[in-house]
Amino acid sequence: MLDAMRGFAAVIVLFFHISVLRHGPAIFDRVYLAVDLFYIISGFVLAAVFESGVGATAAARSLILNRIGRLWPMMACGSAFGLCWMMMRDGTVPPLALLVTGLLFVPVTTGVGEIFPLNGPQWSLLSELLANIVHALVLRRLPTTALIAIASTGWMLEVLISAVQETLNVGHQGTTCFLGLSRVLFGYTAGVILARTRDLWQSRAAVPAGWIAAPLLLVACLLVPTLCAWPAGKTDAYVVLLFVPIVAIASSSDVPPLLRPGSTWLGKISYPLYAVHYPVLSMAALIEARVPATFDLALWIASVLVVVALADVFSRTPLARGIRPTGAPRRTRGFAPAPR
């Protein structure tokens, strides 16, 4: 079920970015919070990897290398698409430094622009990678009570930041990149806590038709605050808190056999879709400005189909599976990193 939730949330983020690029309807304005859902799912799933028989620091280092190898190829493809978009926009080749920093996961923290100019959503992948490193080196050694304290601190920071910034949509720009760390501090740690305490809550979270309840609750959390005109600064942190039981419900639910192929497919395309969708949509926005308005709807339908088709193609290649550095352990059964 978590496979389907990752893919479903990635598709919602795709429509959020279409709305942003087109200055479209406000209904998708709070969908940026789906990133926090990804963090919770990632912490939940990766706890099985980073806390299963990992003893020596050398083994933890190998897991980190394996994680980098998992994320890097598709991230590099996203940067390549971003380079094409910037060339279309400016009519010239961008500075080589932009490509190098993107490929090396080095954020541009100066100014008010995106910290990854070629592919804005890459910021959340960097945040998750940092969380993976901290998990392998530190979190796995801490008792659950300490993790609860860390997650509580992260959530209180989210309450404070969303109140001051009047939104929790922080982390992707140079002026807010460090504030965005509070989001992964809470979300990822909360996911690890869920994984460690699964025996205590799993039977209670197995609600009837949980496979449909979880995505419906997610949609409600992302859309209802906007429909009800609830201020983001006062409600974003509380919406994120609701994602924890949603992940618990999803992880305790089985998808009906008839829907399992589709659920598995959504999980497979989730990371490729997240990694490449934004620069491809940005190209569509450039094309929209140069064609008659009568073609707008067809253009954006085509752009969505192109993104999904690219994600499907990439999901069938070694690029989506990543590379395994020499000496790194094979992925643990059930390891399925979420997109950010």
Q: At what angle do helices 198-205 and 181-196 cross, to 10 degrees?
A: 90
Q: What pLDDT is recorded for position 298?
A: 92
pLDDT in tens, 60-105: 778 888 888 888 999 999 999 999 999 999 988 888 888 898 899 8
What percent of the chain stands above pLDDT 90?
A: 64
Q: Which residues contact 200 (CB under 8 A, 6 or more apart)?
A: none
- pLDDT, average across residues 306-335: 73
pLDDT of 331 higher than 70:
no
Q: What pLDDT is recorded for position 56?
A: 56
- Please give the residue that has the higher pLDDT: either 292 or 310: 310
Q: What pLDDT is recorded for position 190?
A: 97
Distance of CA 73 to the CA centre of its chain: 16
pLDDT of 138 higher than 60:
yes
- Global pTM reads 0.91
Cα 189 from Cα 140, distance rounded (Å): 11
Q: What pLDDT is recorded for position 325?
A: 59
Cα dihedral 293/297/299/305 (nearest 10)? 170
116-120, 171-175, 203-207, 296-300 — which is least confidently predicted?
203-207
Cα 121 from Cα 252, distance rounded (Å): 29
| Cα-only R_g, the chain | 19
The dihedrals phi and psi of 114, each to the nearest 5 degrees, come to -65, 140
Residue 13 · residue 208 · CB < 8 Å: no
- Please give the residue that has the higher pLDDT: either 327 or 103: 103
Q: What pLDDT is recorded for position 339?
A: 36
Cα 107 from Cα 172, distance rounded (Å): 9
pLDDT in tens, 101-131: 889 989 988 878 899 999 999 999 999 999 9
pLDDT of 329 higher than 50:
no
Residue 274 · residue 10 · CB < 8 Å: yes
Q: What pLDDT is recorded for position 117?
A: 93
